[in-house]
Structure 1
Amino acid sequence: MSQKPKKITQRRRKRKDPATDIRNAKYAIGQVVRHRVYAFRGVVFDIDPVFSNSEDWWLAIPAEIRPVKDQPYYHLLAENEETEYIAYVSEQNLLPDTSGEPLRHPQLADYFVEDEDGRYRVFAQPH
């Protein structure tokens, strides 16, 4: 009695649609977040569905704390006690900031207006 050979199939990971990935991002544009490890916080001004910075930038992060690439990455108008800057942070390293403290970043007005509740809203630019 002969047996049929088993068909070997390879499961392929379905590529996600970037628009869907951004809708599934944990944080939203205008949301204030803080870093899980380092003492800084900021407001999200852009989201990449997956890592899209340079390989050199990624490799510069120590391997033991290097985040995975296949997750949302957030562009932040960031600040710490000393200075303000732009940060690029993986979703796994962010937490919501619940301090209610206003941000002082000098570029906030380039992207947002602050509403009466202290939330940052994207303003519509005329075409």
Structure 2
Amino acid sequence: MKVRTAKYGIGDVVRHRIYPFRGVVFDVDPEFANTDEWWDAIPAEIRPSKDQPFYHLFAENAETEYVAYVSEQNLVPDDSGMPVRHPQVRALMAPDDGGTYHWKVDAGIVH
């Protein structure tokens, strides 16, 4: 598999290009690194390629907050400027003037 450079980085706010959710990137896998069960649960006709970056998101939709794992091909930048309400974002990250988030020094995260 050919590994590509990730388009998004830690703290970027993104949204799904099809489904109505958005989130903050908190980790990036250079290629698929989830379970076979997760992969097999995606319908074959919409299953993304494994040889692209996959993103761990503190995600939210209109009803709830959760953690999502999304392929790069299914993400676009979220330029809404709206703050992310996910409680883990508020606890662990802080927004900067550019609309992205960074780890809080006092959150105990070492990067």
Which amino acid letter does the alignment assign opposite residue 54 of structure 1? T
Q: Residue 70 of structure 2 aligns to a residue in which SS?
A: strand
CA distance in 2, matches of 1:65, 1:38: 13
Please give the per-residue CA displacement for 1:25-44, whole angstroms capped at 9, x wherever unaligned. Answer: 00010000000110000000
Partner residue of 1:88?
A: 69
Q: Among the aligned pairs, what percent are the same residue?
A: 61
Q: Residue 102 of structure 1 aligns to a residue in which SS?
A: coil
Partner residue of 1:41?
A: 22
Q: Report runs of 4+ in structure 1 exceeding 4 Å deviation.
A: none
Partner residue of 2:96?
A: 115
TM-score normalized by the length of structure 1: 0.77
CA distance in 1, matches of 2:20, 2:50: 22
Partner residue of 2:57?
A: 76
Question: Is the contact between residue 45 and residue 111 of structure 1 (CA under 8 Å) also seen in structure 2?
Answer: no
The structural deviation recorded for 1:121 is: 1.2
CA distance in 2, matches of 1:119, 1:28: 9
Partner residue of 1:98?
A: 79
Q: Residue 64 of structure 1 aligns to a residue in which SS?
A: helix
Q: CA RMSD in A?
A: 1.9
TM-score normalized by the length of structure 2: 0.88
Question: Is the contact between residue 33 and residue 43 of structure 1 (CA under 8 Å) also seen in structure 2?
Answer: yes
Which amino acid letter does the alignment assign opposite residue 25 of structure 2? V
Q: Structure 2: which 5+ runs fail to align?
A: none
